[in-house]
Amino acid sequence: MSNYIIRLEEKKDYREVENLVRESFWNVYRPGCSEHYVIHVLRDDPAFIPELDFVMEQDGKLIGQNMFMKTVIEADDGRTIDVLTMGPIGITPELKRKGYGKAILDYSLEKATEMGFGAVLFEGNIGFYSHCGFDYASKFGIRYHDLPEGEDASFFLCRELIQGYLDGITGVYQTPKGYYVEDSDVEEFDKAFPPKEKLKLPGQIFD
């Protein structure tokens, strides 16, 4: 890892960041990917937090990004608890597994903490996120929306930014609506990018 900076995303970066996210997620979770369109849509969502929309730059090139959205836990006692969700987060393919992902994540979590947010919850692989203080959300008593009881919830992670923020709370986390996009819209949006081959690969979790 060398001479990188982390800064807020600017309007002029939008297309480069979308391409970076496309490169980073392509064929990882499904043939092709939708995340470049997801960020395109999320930036206009009222839940989007521009002060927590980061890019990582090295030698004038963008090599990573991460963003946050506001959402809530609907607590079993009737309260609505404000929390953050996160992502997409991506590192350019040629620099994966060199520590850049952890660096931008640690930095952005520090900024979210400084802004006074209490907790971050989202879907991810504990293998990476445990390095940045995340644990299973079930350990905090938080359930994933629409997931039947008894189903594997190990993809659903949580980190408190204010220690004890979720003490005494049980409830259901809601993914912001903006993350759900139509396949046909993704297809249309993708046409503006350089052609890339969609492949079915082992380890993908969606068709």
Ligand X SMILES: CC(C)(COP(=O)(O)OP(=O)(O)OC[C@H]1O[C@@H](n2cnc3c(N)ncnc32)[C@H](O)[C@@H]1OP(=O)(O)O)[C@@H](O)C(=O)NCCC(=O)NCCS
Task: Name the minimum Å distance from CB 26 to ligand X.
Answer: 9
Residue 98 interacting with ligand X (CB under 6 A): yes
Closer to ligand X by CB, 74 or 107: give it: 107
Residue 99 interacting with ligand X (CB under 6 A): yes
- 53: three-class secondary structure by DSSP: strand
Residues 8-37 that bind ligand X (CB under 6 A): 24-25, 28
Residues 71-90 that bind ligand X (CB under 6 A): 87, 89-90
- Compute how many residues bind ligand X; rule: CB under 6 A: 19
Q: Taking contact as CB under 6 A, which single stretch among the options 47-55, 67-75, 95-103, 158-166 is the one that binds ligand X?
A: 95-103
Task: Name the minimum Å distance from CB 141 to ligand X.
Answer: 22
Question: What x/- string results for residues 128 through 147 when contact with ligand X is judged by CB under 6 A?
Answer: x--x----------------
Task: Name the minimum Å distance from CB 168 to ligand X.
Answer: 28
Q: Please identify the residue of the shown chain whose CB is closest to the bound ligand X.
A: 101
Question: What x/- string results for residues 144 through 183 when contact with ligand X is judged by CB under 6 A?
Answer: ----------------------------------------
Please state the three-class secondary structure of the chain as a single string: CCCEEEEECCHHHHHHHHHHHHHHHCCCCCCCCCHHHHHHHHCCCCCEEEEEEEEEEECCEEEEEEEEEEEEEEECCCCEEEEEEEEEEEECHHHCCCCHHHHHHHHHHHHHHHCCCCEEEEECCHHHHHHHCCEEHHHHCEEECCCCCCCCCCCEEEEECCCCCCCCCCEEECCCHHHCCCHHHHHHHHCCCCCCCCCCCCCCCCC
Which residues contact ligand X (rule: CB under 6 A)?
24-25, 28, 87, 89-91, 96-102, 124-125, 127-128, 131
